[in-house]
Structure 1
Amino acid sequence: MAGAVSVDEFWDWRRANVHKTVADIHCMLLDTRPDVRFGISPAGVAGKSHTSSDKWGMLPCGVKADDWQYKEIYSDPLGWLYQQTVDFISPQIYWPTTHSTAPYEPLVRWWSNAAGLYGCHFYSSMTLAPLEKNNTPSQRSEILRQVEANRALSMTGEFGSVFYSAKFLGKLSQDIAREHYSSKALSPRICRKGGEKPLSPSGLSSKGGVLSWREQKCDSGKLRRYAVYAFPAHLSREEIMDTGGDGIDSRYLVRISYGCSVAVPMGMGYAVTAIDGDSVESDPVFL
């Protein structure tokens, strides 16, 4: 039959259509809202030796579980990373560290390496659903081990976690806050878009425990937030800076605000920065 295609060619055509859709969405956002981050949360296993790892120049995913998404839903996440059409990837790694065919830690290591190879952020999607039926200390410890793995095995320097579903978060919140999220933090900076620093706030003043400043104009549609820092007044500006050169130390971060005034503890030194949608921070202004 003239013009007939093989099953493999048909599947490749379907995956190419998915790649094009992802690329079109990415281009649309760059044109209309370049400050908005675009990411996808695919199935947790991809890039096996018999699917797509060789095509995109990656070592194959070494777990025993199958890359079912490649042929069943025509999803090839390595292609999105290679083509740089997503800002972040958040695979659904919904298995425990002890799973026989899809253990959590090897998958985190593989995905983080894949994202880092192509200059993309990686945030593991973790499930909290087991807590609904088994809210025990051992199950909560398993979730915390996964958070620790996200941080220890990150190849990209971004240590984010995505929790599914939010309705279960209350069952874990005290343990997480005490052991792993005791300090506030800014979202990881997207650097590859090449944006300049936003303008710093101006007119910083304090009255009656309220810190205020004037909003700076920004590009239409550009997200703008403010990071508010409070630190012991006797510390110098040099002493409050992050030792890694990443702005003010996050231990002094007290609030992220979309407005231009916040309540702050009195008798402290203060600093405010502007943050754009890529989490690029302006130079601080001090009071």
Structure 2
Amino acid sequence: MLKNIVYAIIVAFILPNTISAQTTAKIAPKREFRGIWVATVANIDWPSKPGLSIDQQKQELIALLDQHKKNGMNAIILQVRPAADAFYSKSREPWSQWLMGRQGLAPSPGYDPLEFAIKEAHSRGMELHAWFNPYRATMGGSSAVSSSHMTAKRPDMFFLYGGKKQFDPGLPEVREYIVEVILDVVKGYDIDGIHFDDYFYPYPISGQRINDALTFAKYPNGFTDIKDWRRNNVDMLIKMLDDSIHHYKKYVKFGISPFGIWKNSFEDAEGSKTSGLSNYAELFADSRKWVKEGWVDYINPQIYFSFTRKAAPFGTLVDWWSNNTFGRHLYIGQAAYLVNQKMEAAWRQPSQIPDQIRYLRENNRVQGSVFFSSKSFTTVARAVGDSLKNDLYKYPALPPQMPWLDDVVPNAPQDFKAEAANDGVHLQWAKPFMAEDGETASGYVIYRFDEGEKISVLNPKNILRVSFEDFTSFIDTTVDKGKRYNYLVTALDRLKNESEPSGPVGVETK
């Protein structure tokens, strides 16, 4: 970290006045993933309750996005398929019960929650990752499913565990169906990523048994150990999705957020020095393998532990995962919902999460964070939000680059102009010429500098606006009268590679 900062200072001193946008990739926090999970299951985060009017749903989502934008976030992980249902219209599955109050009940014609969320996120310079629960089909209890739900149409594709119906991962038709469901969204929506959380095979419940022996007997795939067979079933789905998503849209990121422990070192010498439930043994999810094989673009382990948690210290797990990224991105899942909780004294320390973020930034193999969950920032974690807004995330950040998906830099915007008017400074430019890969621009970054200030795109404090839209004009209404400013604009492609800047253009305000 210190070396990066020193390098940045040296580069800024030696190079000419305007510095390449690409040299900033490793310099925190100009590039950092800052995500927030927005859970729809049981109306945890949004909408606040089922059956709200469309206007109420939109207003709630806009308020939520505005809050997280102010706190410095640049990615929304929106749960669009909580239980084999949908928060989007282009779906082969029924509308979610948590949207309008009954599964299968459609909202007003013309309203698509996912489409609306994407547009609003992109206009704020935030990515939208569509979060799917691949195997969960019901939440148990008295929740009624519609006649078009897969549990009603194909009951043979599920087993019951802990009172909940779950797709049987060992069935080939289940894997094919889940891939089709996800590709509906990849093909039909302008999303930035596909995201899974930690629910694969169910978390163990005492006295419960997974009823998949018949499936194992029918489709053994060369395995004699049912545990290895289960892990392979999940592996096959992950590999199929990696291939399928990137076949249709190379720029759509695929990421998974597993439980924080892959294996404990007492189970495997390559595991972490921890002693808790593990993905590998209890959930039949070989999370490290997915990264090692390059089947995911990012891994987002849920390290919902404090620094002093004896069985699984935060720092121990961050260090372990950072040594097992195999060149892919590592974003750390952080537990905003545990702030001020009584379960452990460490969580009542206001510095717990801020110190965790500082710890991540000291490790150049960690590219950011995702917080669970949105609602926490209006309840127990309000102070954390203030720390982000006023300190740690004070300046904007671009998502980190993924060169294995796209390393072609877009061309710079053309014909950049700035003109002072009574209502502010009017900025205008033309789209860049097409780059080698056929892309022009999917977004822009506008930088502003006071007169006499060093003109460089290295420092995120000079970022005036980030948008993941292809607009080519902007009015800066935040200027002081009678002052002189310099402006730059850069182009972003779909994977947030940044062009050389156009400008600088100077203007004196009226």
Superposed, which structure 2 residues align to 1:1-287 within 5 Å? 9-49=225-265, 59-67=270-278, 69-115=279-325, 118-131=326-339, 138-152=348-362, 154-156=363-365, 158=367, 160-170=368-378, 171=382, 172-207=384-419, 208=421, 209-216=425-432, 224-235=442-453, 239-241=454-456, 248-257=458-467, 258=469, 259-264=471-476, 265-266=478-479, 267-286=484-503, 287=505
* C-alpha contact (below 8 Å) 2:409/2:499 kept by paired residues: yes
Q: Structure 1: 5+ residue runs without aligned partners?
A: 242-246
Alpha-carbon distance in 2 for matches of 1:23, 1:198: 30
Bigger shift: 195-204 or 212-221?
Answer: 212-221
The structure number with the bigger radius of gyration is 2
1:70 Cα deviation (Å)? Answer: 1.6
The answer (yes or no) to whether the contact 1:212–1:262 under 8 Å persists in 2 is yes
Query: Residue 222 of structure 1 contacts residue 277 of structure 1 at CA under 8 Å; is this kept in 2?
Result: no
- Helix, strand or coil for the counterpart of 1:42? coil
Alignment partners' CA distance in 1, 2:271 and 2:496: 32
CA offset digits 1:151-181 (Å, max 9, x no partner): 12x24262x1111101112412112222311
SS at match of 2:247: helix
Partner of 2:185: none
1:202 Cα deviation from its structure 2 partner:
1.4
Q: Deviations over 1:262-283 (max 9, x none)?
A: 2325431111111122221111
The alignment covers a number of residue pairs equal to 266
One-letter identity of the residue aligned with 1:147: I
TM-score, normalised on structure 2?
Answer: 0.48
Tell me, which stretches of 5 or more residues in structure 2 are unaligned?
A: 1-215, 506-510
Distance of 2:439 and 2:245 partners within structure 1 = 11
Q: Secondary structure at the match of 2:359?
A: helix
SS where residue 65 of structure 1 aligns? coil
User: Partner of 2:187 in structure 1?
Assistant: none
**Deviation string for 1:127-172 (max 9, x for gaps)?**
11123756x99433111111112112x24262x1111101112412
Q: Cα RMSD (Å) of the superposition?
A: 2.8
Q: What letter is aligned with 2:353?
A: I
The 1:276–1:60 alpha-carbon spacing in structure 2 relative to 1, beyond 3 Å, is same
Change (3 A) 1:8 1:74: farther
Q: 1:193 to 1:79 in 2, by over 3 A?
A: same
Output one character per residue of 1:180-236: Cα deviation in whole Å (capped at 9) or x when no partner.
11211111111222431112211212233121222347679997111111112434x
CA contact (8 A) 1:240 1:249 kept: no
After superposition, the C-alpha distances for 1:2-35 in whole angstroms (9 at most, x for unaligned) are: x988997222222122112112211122221211
CA distance in 1, matches of 2:438, 2:228: 40
- Are 1:33 and 1:221, in contact at CA under 8 Å, matched by a contact in 2? no
Which whole-Å CA distance do the structure 2 matches of 1:101 and 1:11 have between them? 24
For the residue of structure 2 that corresponds to 1:38, the secondary structure is: strand
Aligned equivalent of 1:244: none
After TM superposition, the score normalised by the length of structure 1 is 0.82
AA aligned opposite 1:61: S
Matches of 2:418 and 2:260, distance apart in 1? 49
